[in-house]
Amino acid sequence: MIAHPTLRLWTRDDYYRMAQTGILHPDEPVELIAGQIIRKMSPQGSYHASGIRRTHRWFAEALQSVALIQTQLPIQLRDDSEPEPDVAILKPDLRDYSDRHPTAADVLLLIEVADSTLAYDCGTKARVYAQTGIADYWVLDVARRQLHLFRDPTPEGYRYHQIFPADATVQPLCFREWPTMSQRTVAIASLLPYPPVGNPPQGG
């Protein structure tokens, strides 16, 4: 009989100790997802970076002081997951989360900008986000110029998954809670990078 190998899964405490002891370099592009330390794509392509930049700008201008917008910074979801989503819309915090990382309870909307990572963002990450109760999760597919929208989280994953083309509009769930935003929608094209000339740069 040949035993099947099993993964050694890590906790957030393990993850922090690796950083403290130098096993993980402070600038090393990694994140903890479902107990696995995942190396993020590097270098990051300009097309992917533009999608992050445009998404951040749109929400920063629309929401101003109503919510906090962060890019590629940690969210503590559970003992085995501390992802760094490309864009996170968070509840305001008086201390700007200086004494702790945001948790799932602080998240209003998570957005991943995907090019070569689309399958992972729509698969493993979507399951982790659903299992921790993230109600509104988007994956902006910059290569195909469309948006994957995930809602109705369960322990098995999201019940709702719909793909919208670039010319569609969508409304974040959190907008319904604010009178000034309750009628406003987001044009997907406003988040996407400008259409490429020839083939888009790869990476990210």
CATH number of the domain where residue 93 is located:
3.90.1570.10
Q: Cα Rg for the chain, rounded, in angstroms? A: 17
Does any domain span residue 118? yes
Question: Which residue would you say has higher pLDDT here, 36 or 60?
Answer: 60
* Domain contains 140: yes
Whether 23 is covered by a domain: the verdict is no
Task: Identify whether 54 is part of a domain.
Answer: yes
Rounded Cα gap, residues 127 and 57, in angstroms: 27
pLDDT of residue 94: 85
In a domain? residue 138: yes
How high is the pLDDT of residue 10? 67
Q: How confident is the model at residue 32 (pLDDT cuts 50, 70, 90)?
A: confident
Residue 148: domain span: 44-191
Tens of pLDDT along 159-169? 999 999 999 99
State the pTM of this model: 0.82
Q: Read off the pLDDT of residues 139-178 as tens digits, 9 standing for 90 and up.
A: 999 999 999 999 999 999 999 999 999 999 999 999 998 8
- Phi, psi of 164, deg, nearest 5: -115, 140
What would the pLDDT profile of 92-126 be if each residue is shown by its tens digit?
Answer: 988 889 999 999 999 999 999 998 889 999 999 99
pLDDT digits (tens, 9 = 90+) for 34-43: 777 677 665 6
The count of structural domains within the chain is: 1
Residue 55 domain flag: yes
Residue 170 lies in a domain: yes
Residue 48 lies in a domain: yes
* 3: CB partners within 8 A, 6+ apart: none
